[in-house]
């Protein structure tokens, strides 16, 4: 390679740049999506922290009203699988990434969708008319709105995690079949 004012490498005039080695595309895709997944996992933990603050009783605030199905708590069970995703990223392990994907679907997306469905009538009542009659309130706001808002954020993060995980699995897939 040549520098502007320095010495030129012997044996080339710089026109061979098209034939130099390049990083294979799957490695570039893998590196980009690994960092993207880490951002989504960080967001997952931030939302989990917000949800834990709502669910844990604190002295100055009253207890947050939850569903009888404990779906808010079930969503928190997806947190250990983010650690599995980090380990899968570090070593490009497809098995661990598949475990993460299925765990996010069953422990992350499904409880959030059920919560949104359960709170939909209360949200529609509040958003359409502003009526708080017969609604469970927390700190002056309907708890259904707070819970649904967190669930929507959860789903957006999980969709991003699942999309990036699928891209990583595709990048990590073997390129050539063994010849027999």
Three-class secondary structure of residue 64 per DSSP: coil
Nearest to 141 by CA among 128, 127, 121, 156: 127
> Between these two residues, 5 and 40, which has the higher pLDDT value?
40
Main-chain phi, psi angles of 120, to 5 degrees: -55, -45
Q: What percent of the chain has pLDDT over 70?
A: 82
Residues facing 142 on adjacent strands: 137
> Residue 134's pLDDT is what?
80
> Between these two residues, 9 and 132, which has the higher pLDDT value?
132
The model's pLDDT over 25-81, given as tens digits with 9 standing for 90+, comes to 777 788 899 999 999 999 999 999 988 888 877 757 777 777 666 788 888 899 999
Task: Count how many residues are written for the chain.
Answer: 180
Encoded tokens for 13: 């005039």
pTM above 0.95, yes or no: no
Q: Where are the alpha helices (DSSP H) in the chain?
A: 25-55, 71-76, 79-91, 94-103, 110-129, 143-172
For the chain, the average pLDDT equals: 84
């Amino acid at each position: 390679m040549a520098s502007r004012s320095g010495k030129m490498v012997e044996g080339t005039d710089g026109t061979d740049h098209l034939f130099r080695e390049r990083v294979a595309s799957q490695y570039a895709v893998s590196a980009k999506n690994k960092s993207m997944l880490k951002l989504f996992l960080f967001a997952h933990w931030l939302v989990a922290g917000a949800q834990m603050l709502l669910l844990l009783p604190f002295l100055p605030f009253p207890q947050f009203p939850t569903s009888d199905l404990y779906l808010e708590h079930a969503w928190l069970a997806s947190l250990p699988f983010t650690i599995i995703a980090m380990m899968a990223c570090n070593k490009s392990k497809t098995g661990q990434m598949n475990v993460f994907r299925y765990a996010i679907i069953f422990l992350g997306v499904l409880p959030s969708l059920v919560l949104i469905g359960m709170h939909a009538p209360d949200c529609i009542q509040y958003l359409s008319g502003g009526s708080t009659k017969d609604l469970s309130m927390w700190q002056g706001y309907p708890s259904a709105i707070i819970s649904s808002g967190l669930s929507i954020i959860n789903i957006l993060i999980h969709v991003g995690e699942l999309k990036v995980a699928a891209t990583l699995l595709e990048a990590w897939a073997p390129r050539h079949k063994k010849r027999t």
